[in-house]
A and B are shown apart, each in its own frame.
Chain A
């Protein structure tokens, strides 16, 4: 197969890569660019562990081809903190112990940020539906929901 050249912006930086036509964006991020923060839990769009945003839209990167990202802006978990300063969601996840094993955490943080970007004042129900595409097997989601609500409140005050 012949590789295809793609130009994107990832976490604010211009990134060029080559990939096969049938390679997913998730595989490109993980295997070609060393961005292993996005995880593969299923590769069928059912677990959300591979969540990234493409041009601001929450996406399962396992369902997108690497070549489709041409000209797009991609944000991943690796770009969420601002230098030393964690994003409020990241901080609140730690404070609330909203992770046990942590494999779902990158995807859930990306999804939670996408939710708060569009709805800064979500109800518990809105948080629950906003994260319904992200599976967590460890926590029962209780502490995750609390962390997201708390982060939202803090971000509104800021």
Chain B
């Protein structure tokens, strides 16, 4: 189980919760299972997200490992100029 925090405006799609518990050992599992558990998140997942793990932001990287004590945040997909 990892704890993942989604940003505030996704709460309508997660039953009002910002902090979700998901069984996942890497980013790919996390994203797949988030979509399965909360289908309302799927459009946002399709638009693209970044995942911050222990302070480092990953835009790609399905295989980035997640540990039980990892601090995980879902963030909008980063863009740049």
Q: Direct contact between A and B in the complex (CB less than 8 angstroms)? A: no
Residue ranges of A at the interface with B (Cβ–Cβ < 8 Å)? none
Residue ranges of B at the interface with A (Cβ–Cβ < 8 Å)? none
